[in-house]
Amino acid sequence: MPSSTRKSAARLVLTALIAGTLILFNGTAAAKIRNNASFDGVWRGAGTISYRGWEEPISCRVQNTNKSDAEFYSHFRCTLKRFGSGSLTILMERVGTSRYSGGFYDGLNKSNVRVSVVQKGRQQRVQLSGRKWSGVLHLRK
């Protein structure tokens, strides 16, 4: 894969990962209202993204803000060592006890990306899945 194509793909994956993470953290405020848990606020962590056979470590900071009783805005700011930083805001929805879901459109690969978050106490696992790439983040408050 040419270097410019790889960088463009990596930036898109970074944006998608950030978006997915944001979606997940947007659901934290609704959980606080219903479960008296603290989903809102700032979360930090790292993980790995995979794209067409290569893996890249990623680190993120996510700010979750309550939009309504069951919807949240998640603002992701993430960094990939080889490709730099990016940010994205995603709308997330509470879909169960300590579970959130959202998605965004990956324009480079012309496909939807699903973002799923599971929270356990002060930890969250964020999983992103798209047609050509996937990612997992482990976040802490």
Of 17-26, 50-59, 108-117, 127-136, which gets the smallest average pLDDT? 17-26
For the four alpha carbons of 96, 60, 131 and 133, in that order, the dihedral sign comes to negative
CATH number of the domain within which 130 lies: 2.40.128.120
Using the predicted structure, report yes or no on whether residue 9 has a pLDDT greater than 60: no
Residue 32 sits in which domain range? Answer: 3-140
Using the predicted structure, report yes or no on whether residue 70 has a pLDDT greater than 90: no
Helix (H, G, I), strand (E, B) or coil at 68: coil
Tell which wins on pLDDT, 38 or 58.
58
CA distance 49 to 55: 6
Using the predicted structure, report yes or no on whether residue 35 has a pLDDT greater than 80: no
Q: Rounded mean pLDDT of the chain?
A: 80
73 within 8 A of 22, measured Cβ to Cβ: yes
Q: Nearest CA to 115 among 132, 130, 96?
A: 130
Using the predicted structure, report yes or no on whether residue 8 has a pLDDT greater than 90: no
Of 3-7, 20-24, 44-48, which gets the smallest average pLDDT? 20-24
CA distance 78 to 104: 16
46 within 8 A of 137, measured Cβ to Cβ: yes
Q: At what angle do helices 28-35 and 3-26 cross, to 10 degrees?
A: 20
Percent of the chain with pLDDT over 70: 74
Phi, psi of 98 (to 5 degrees): 65, 25
Tell which wins on pLDDT, 32 or 122.
122
Domain total of the chain: 1
pLDDT grade, residue 66 (50/70/90)? confident
**Tokens of residue 114, six digits:** 């699903």
